[in-house]
Each structure stands twice: as structure tokens, then as C-alpha cells.
């Protein structure tokens, strides 16, 4: 039932994450350094986002004896929201090397700020597959709502986890009305959105700062 759906928010509290975020915010950071620091920060954020992945017990033999171990219960699915989410993918793949990769391309209309899909490559069914959505910026929440609803429609178990660098209060409030059970993991909740729906103080356009302007 929609009334039972919740949005949980976890703010990552870690000095490495805080330092990397400071470098990402700096307007003088080059594209190359921005990509490196986004990967560094993503390692911490995705580690926290994957904290509650279901596991099963297993046995393993060391060079000296047999002992108990843990394995992931199923392969998770990493879902970068193009194009900015691609910068978080290498770190996520390093932490979860057996994960499947699905991609969702959603672009925001610069006038209306509404999302529109231009690509979606997803498994036909996601039942029992824990999904971690990667998007550095939770601004209005429109693109992330769109992507998460695509996953939910294919049977992805909830809560669906969103790993991001920054979140705006307006975006969190928007997702709270989405009718989905979500867990947002972010390095910071910033002050607000400006009139152009950019996060303030933010870090600018995460896609442009990684890859350069699109034209």
C-alpha cells in the first residue's frame, strides 16, 4: 500500500568522503581530477549503499583450516543514470564485481525540468535482484523517480537503493510522494535548489564536470 512506503535517507559520515566532496565542489578542480575524486567518493557511498545486501552462509578452506564465510545471496544490479551516473560505476563495479549492469538514460528538459527517457537497457524481470541506482545528483528527483519506477515495474525488490553524492531537500520530498520504498545514501544534503533546479551550494553540473559540455 502506498501509505506504507517510506524513504529512508543515510548521510555518509566519513573523512575520506568529506575530503573528496570538498574537491568536487571546488570550481578549480579539473575534469580529470573531478573524475578521480568522484570515483574515490563513490567507493565510500556505494560501500554504505550495499551494507544491507542479503547474504548466505558458506564454508571456505584457508591454507590451514576450514571456516565459515559469507556470500551475497544474489547478484545485485547496478543502474547508472546516464550520463553523470557513469562516473560512479567503476567504483561500484570494483566493490561488486559480480553485479549485472543496467543503464537508464534520462535527460531533463532545461525549460520544464521534467525527465524524458532516451535509453533503457534492463533485464525483463528483476525479481529478487537488489538494485543500486547510481546518480551523483538528487536535485528535483524527477529522473531518479523515473528510473526507479522502471525497476519497480520489472519486479525489483524494495527498498530500491539510490547512491548519490548530493541531495536537495526538494528532491527528497518529491521522492517521498513517489509511492515507492526507497533508501537514499548520500554524502550531503545541501541547502536548496535554485531557479534553474541546480543544487546550491552543490558542485555544478556533474556530467559536464566529468566529461565536458555536451556541445
Q: Among this protein's residues, is 205 annotated catalytic?
A: yes
Residue tagged active-site, from 10, 75, 154, 208: 208
d(CA 110, CA 128): 36
Residue tagged active-site, from 6, 30, 55, 112: 112
Mean pLDDT, residues 132-142: 95
Residue tagged active-site, from 25, 75, 108, 154: 108
The 10s digit of each residue's pLDDT in 146-195 is 999 999 999 999 999 999 999 999 999 999 999 999 999 999 999 999 99
Q: Does 105 score more than 70 pLDDT?
A: yes
Q: Which domain holds residue 206?
A: 2-211
**Total number of domains in the chain:** 1
* Residue 212 pLDDT: 82
CB 92 within 8 A of CB 78: yes
Q: Among this protein's residues, is 108 annotated catalytic?
A: yes
CB 24 within 8 A of CB 39: no
* Residue 99 pLDDT: 96
The CATH number for 99's domain is 3.40.50.2020
Mean pLDDT, residues 31-56: 96
CB 192 within 8 A of CB 200: yes
The 10s digit of each residue's pLDDT in 50-93 is 999 999 999 999 999 999 999 999 999 999 998 889 999 999 99
Q: Among this protein's residues, is 3 annotated catalytic?
A: no
Q: Among this protein's residues, is 161 annotated catalytic?
A: no
Amino acid at each position: 500500500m502506498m501509505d506504507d512506503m517510506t524513504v529512508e535517507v543515510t548521510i555518509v559520515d566519513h573523512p575520506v568522503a568529506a575530503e573528496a566532496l570538498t574537491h568536487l565542489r571546488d570550481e578549480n578542480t579539473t575534469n580529470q581530477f573531478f573524475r578521480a575524486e568522484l570515483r574515490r567518493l563513490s567507493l565510500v557511498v556505494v560501500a554504505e549503499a550495499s551494507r544491507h545486501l542479503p547474504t548466505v552462509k558458506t564454508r571456505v578452506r584457508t591454507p590451514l583450516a576450514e571456516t565459515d564465510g559469507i556470500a551475497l545471496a544474489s547478484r545485485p544490479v547496478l543502474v547508472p543514470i546516464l550520463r553523470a551516473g557513469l562516473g560512479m560505476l567503476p567504483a561500484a563495479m570494483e566493490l561488486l564485481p559480480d553485479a549485472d549492469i543496467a543503464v537508464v538514460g534520462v535527460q531533463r528538459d532545461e525549460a520544464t525540468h521534467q525527465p524524458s527517457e532516451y535509453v533503457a537497457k534492463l533485464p525483463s524481470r528483476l525479481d529478487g535482484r537488489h538494485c543500486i541506482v547510481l546518480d551523483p545528483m538528487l536535485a528535483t528527483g524527477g529522473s531518479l523517480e523515473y528510473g526507479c519506477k522502471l525497476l519497480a515495474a520489472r519486479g525489483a525488490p524494495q527498498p530500491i537503493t539510490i547512491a548519490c553524492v548530493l541531495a536537495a531537500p526538494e528532491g527528497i520530498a518529491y521522492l517521498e510522494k513517489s509511492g515507492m520504498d526507497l533508501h537514499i545514501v548520500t554524502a550531503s544534503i545541501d541547502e536548496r535548489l535554485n531557479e534553474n533546479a541546480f543544487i546550491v551550494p552543490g558542485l555544478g553540473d556533474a556530467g559536464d564536470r566529468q566529461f565536458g559540455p555536451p556541445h
